[in-house]
Amino acid sequence: MDPGAPNFGPLSGDMAERDMNSPNQSGPWYRGMTGYHWWVLIVASLGWLFDTMDQRIFVLARGPALVDLLPPGTPASQVTWYGGVATAVFMLGWATGGFVFGILGDRWGRAKTMLLTILIYSAFTGLSALSVSWVDFTFYRFLTGLGVGGEFAAGVALVAEVMPARARAHALGLLQALSAVGNILGSAISFVVLPLGWRYLYCFECHAGGVTPWSASPWRSRG
């Protein structure tokens, strides 16, 4: 820089905005976050938490569900085989949901897409509790996987997109940490609910995930 060049100071409000979003700004990482930022962070974090809780509940309830849904006397080896099929179909739905809703989020809006995917996996988790055969149980798990994979894609993209630069790393770290908490909670809840029956476990997850879109609604209107 030419030492003789005049210093005009900040050229516009854009420079002040960039300074506010600078990761080097002093103070706590959440300073400057608006109500919308908090709404996105809370809903996406709870969405990830209940995504992984659903995954854990499926793993724990899969065996008892298939024993109940398959014909009486089905050998354990066949129960395990059908469990593998249900898991593969669930993962296929997961991958498909991540791809489809990732594209839809770009066109329709990530916030709307995130809410839609949460409602999808909550609804079809609930329908899993009403299964009458391994066929519809597996079909519901595919549809649940669509919502789970879609929420993973939409949620993390939305958080990374809207968070101020100084809060982004903390927000994404919180998102990932709560996904581990979801697995832990799924295991803990199963100790209490699974002895009552595998259908109750899916009903619990349906209600837990279903309240997520509205749980942070007061934050959305705050500036």
Whether the per-residue pLDDT at 167 is higher than 80: the answer is yes
Does residue 129 lie in a domain region?
A: yes
Does residue 202 lie in a domain region?
A: yes
Does residue 205 lie in a domain region?
A: yes
Each residue of 21-78: pLDDT tens digit?
Answer: 555 566 788 888 888 898 889 888 888 898 899 899 999 999 999 999 999 999 999 9
Domain assignment of residue 117, given as a range: 33-70+77-213
Whether the per-residue pLDDT at 12 is higher than 50: the answer is no
Does residue 218 lie in a domain region?
A: no
Whether the per-residue pLDDT at 208 is higher than 80: the answer is no
Which residue do the tokens 């391994």 mark? 134
Q: What is the pTM of this model?
A: 0.80
Does residue 222 lie in a domain region?
A: no
Does residue 9 lie in a domain region?
A: no
Number of domains in the chain: 1
Whether the per-residue pLDDT at 7 is higher than 50: the answer is no
CATH assignment of the domain containing 148 = 1.20.1250.20
Does residue 145 lie in a domain region?
A: yes
Average pLDDT score over the chain: 84
Each residue of 125-148: pLDDT tens digit?
Answer: 999 999 999 999 999 999 999 999
Does residue 97 lie in a domain region?
A: yes
